[in-house]
């Protein structure tokens, strides 16, 4: 029965660069590994995009009745972590523990369900060492005289299959850094030698710590198996991280690593890459200080997971408006005990979208069609309106939205507080709308600012002043 519900489900596989019929290794069960966060700072919006994207994937697969084993790792030992800990004059473990707690707080705020397993790199040192030993034994890796261990890229004949990069092309710009003892500039580190006063662990090659790439190979194999259904992460990890994972895992085990590779698209801020140097870098905490969490989550699923997302105050206002439309449809209805609608055209349309590579924009459009019909039924058939409302909430739950009490949500506002810069950005957007004679949009922005006690002093478009009331 379960199998029939998703037998036509297609997922875009980054490995083959096409949509494929999804067929789990074990019928009725899905194994997923996603590269998680390096915990030395607060989550930023790019992290949130990844977390929410794969939260939707797992939620929807479970909605279909599948038994999902979702593993998302934590990188809790890394050069960036050690550098930040040194700057703070604290133990690296205290740093990572603090930011793991903060990460969990932000995830909970965004409605991201915890993974079934959340392995930490430092908890799998034994497995990492064992995998490196296997790679050395099979001549896929070698130990340098200083105790570093490197993966020999040229020994793995299929290197570059995932990223579609050719070995010869990788020589361009490749070089051996000072202190490195690679045989080939394309080789990557599996184990880093460390001084006695540095953080590290004993190994057959001496005191040191693991390289980043080998951590995920060891953890995924330990928590799932040598082969599993889906490997996910941000598109920025495709090369070299995921490419290196494929090479070292398949070299060590001789088995296919992951059947499907999924990569979420980047997040941009006002159509620019998010960067501290551009002064457009936002943590999740920054955004949630201003906007309610469900509005932020909606923005993160309103675009297809493989597409870029543009973050702006305007886009968040649009997200809030969209959610208000859905909650307004539910408002005033008692749907908690409504007769369940099954096999309806709405559910079929919703599933058709979601089973086409998790097409959330299409799925959301189905919810808005339902909202439109609920509004009609409120005046003509309250019982049917309640049934439709119950179905809409059930479907929306697989996306992690529209689960609040409608009246409570509608009484709240999208914005909690705004900086002067954000206020002026919104005013600029409103001025542009006025110039284009888009009065509805201009009025919406004015009303939202007034709700925050921001008084606008209109002149000609482009010369609007403001003051706090």
Percent pLDDT > 70 in the chain is 92
pLDDT value, residue 239: 95
Question: Does residue 2 lie within any of the structural domains?
Answer: no
Task: Provide the domain limits for residue 379.
Answer: 290-411
Clarify whether residues 121 and 171 are in a common domain: yes
- Which of 394, 411, 428 is the last residue in one of the domains? 411
Q: Please report the pLDDT score of residue 387 as a whole number.
A: 93
The answer to whether residues 82 and 197 belong to one domain is yes
Same domain flag for 304 and 381: yes
Q: For residues 411 and 129, what is the distance between their CA atoms, to the nearest angstrom?
A: 55
Same domain, 197 and 251: yes
In a domain, 68, yes or no: yes
Confidence (pLDDT) at 447 = 73
Number of domains making up the chain: 3
State whether 391 and 442 are in the same domain.
no
364: domain CATH number is: 1.20.120.640
Grade residue 413 by pLDDT with cuts at 50, 70 and 90.
low
Question: Would you state the pLDDT for residue 427?
Answer: 83
1 in a domain, yes or no?
no
**Whether residue 324 sits in one domain with residue 402:** yes
Q: Are 371 and 458 in the same domain?
A: no
pLDDT tens by residue, 176-224: 676 678 999 999 999 999 998 999 999 999 999 999 999 999 999 999 9
**pLDDT score for 418:** 66
Task: Report pLDDT digits (tens) over 19-30.
Answer: 999 999 999 999
Let me know if residue 158 belongs to a domain: yes
Rounded average pLDDT over 384-390: 94
Residue 278's pLDDT is: 66
Whose tokens are 């110039």? That residue is 435
Tokens representing 385?
Answer: 């309106």
Tell me the torsion sign for CA atoms 52, 103, 105, 271: negative
CA angle 72, 74, 77 (to 5 degrees): 155
C-alpha torsion 210→214→220→226, nearest 10 = -130
Q: Of 229, 264, 299, which one is at a domain's C-terminal end?
A: 264
Judgement on whether residues 406 and 429 belong to the same structural domain of the protein: no
* 170 lies in some domain: yes
pLDDT band for position 423 (50/70/90)? confident
Can you tell me the mean pLDDT for 29-50? 96
Please tell me whether residues 56 and 136 are part of one structural domain: yes
Please tell me whether residues 303 and 221 are part of one structural domain.
no
Q: Which domain CATH number covers 197?
A: 3.40.50.620
The phi, psi pair for 147, rounded to 5°, reads: 100, -10
What 3-state class would DSSP assign to 34?
strand
The domain boundary, picked from 363, 381, 411, lies at 411
pLDDT class of 124 with cuts at 50, 70, 90: very high
CA dihedral 133, 38, 147, 202 (to 10 degrees): -70
> What does the pLDDT read at residue 429?
78
Q: Is residue 3, in this structure, part of any structural domain at all?
A: no
For residue 2, is pLDDT > 50?
no
Please, what sign has the CA dihedral across residues 233, 235, 236, 238? positive
Same domain for 144 and 211, yes or no, is: yes
- 258-305 confidence digits (pLDDT tens): 999 999 999 988 777 776 666 677 889 989 988 999 999 999 999 999
Residue 391 inside a domain? The answer is yes
Whether 36 is covered by a domain: the verdict is yes
Same domain, 107 and 154: yes
């Amino acid at each position: 029965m379960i199998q029939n519900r998703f037998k036509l489900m297609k997922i875009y596989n980054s490995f083959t660069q096409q949509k494929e019929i999804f067929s789990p290794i074990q019928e009725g069960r899905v194994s997923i590994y996603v590269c998680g966060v390096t915990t030395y700072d607060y989550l930023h919006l790019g992290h949130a995009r990844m977390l929410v994207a794969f939260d939707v994937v797992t939620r929807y697969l479970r909605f279909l009745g599948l038994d999902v084993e979702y593993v998302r790792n934590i990188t809790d030992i890394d050069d960036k972590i050690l550098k930040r800990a040194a700057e703070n004059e604290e133990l690296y473990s205290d740093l990572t523990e603090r930011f793991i707690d903060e990460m969990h707080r932000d995830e909970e705020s965004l409605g991201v369900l915890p993974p079934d397993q959340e392995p930490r790199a430092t908890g799998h040192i034994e497995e990492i060492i064992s995998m490196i030993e296997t790679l050395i034994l099979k001549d896929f890796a070698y130990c340098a005289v200083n105790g570093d261990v490197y993966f020999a890229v040229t020994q793995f004949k299929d290197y570059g299959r995932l990223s579609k990069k050719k070995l010869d092309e990788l020589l361009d710009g490749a070089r051996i850094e000072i202190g490195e003892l690679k045989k080939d500039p394309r080789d990557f580190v599996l184990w880093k030698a460390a001084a006695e006063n540095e953080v590290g662990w004993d190994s057959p090659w001496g005191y040191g710590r693991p390289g980043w790439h080998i951590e995920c190979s060891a953890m995924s194999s330990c928590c799932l198996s040598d082969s599993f259904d889906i490997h996910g992460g941000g598109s920025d990890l495709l090369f070299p991280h995921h490419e290196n994972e494929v090479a070292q895992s398949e070299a060590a085990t001789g088995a296919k690593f992951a059947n499907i590779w999924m990569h979420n698209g980047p997040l941009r801020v006002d159509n620019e890459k998010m960067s501290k140097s551009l002064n457009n870098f936002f943590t999740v905490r920054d955004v949630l200080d201003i906007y309610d969490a469900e509005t932020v989550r909606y923005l993160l699923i309103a675009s297809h997971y493989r597409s870029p997302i543009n973050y702006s105050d305007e886009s968040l206002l649009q997200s809030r408006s969209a959610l208000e439309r859905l909650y307004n449809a539910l408002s005033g209805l008692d749907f908690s005990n409504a007769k369940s609608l099954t096999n309806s055209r709405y559910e079929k349309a919703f599933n058709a979208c979601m089973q086409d590579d998790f097409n959330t924009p299409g799925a959301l459009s189905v919810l808005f069609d339902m909202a439109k019909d609920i509004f009609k039924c409120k005046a003509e058939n309250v019982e049917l309106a309640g049934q439709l409302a119950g179905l809409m909430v059930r479907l929306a739950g697989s996306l992690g939205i529209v689960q609040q009490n409608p009246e409570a949500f509608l009484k709240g506002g999208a914005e909690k507080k705004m900086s002067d810069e954000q206020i002026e950005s919104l005013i600029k957007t409103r001025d542009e709308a006025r110039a284009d004679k888009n009065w509805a949009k201009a009025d919406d922005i004015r009303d939202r600012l007034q709700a925050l006690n921001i008084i606008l002093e209109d002149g000609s478009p482009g010369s609007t002043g403001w003051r706090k009331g």
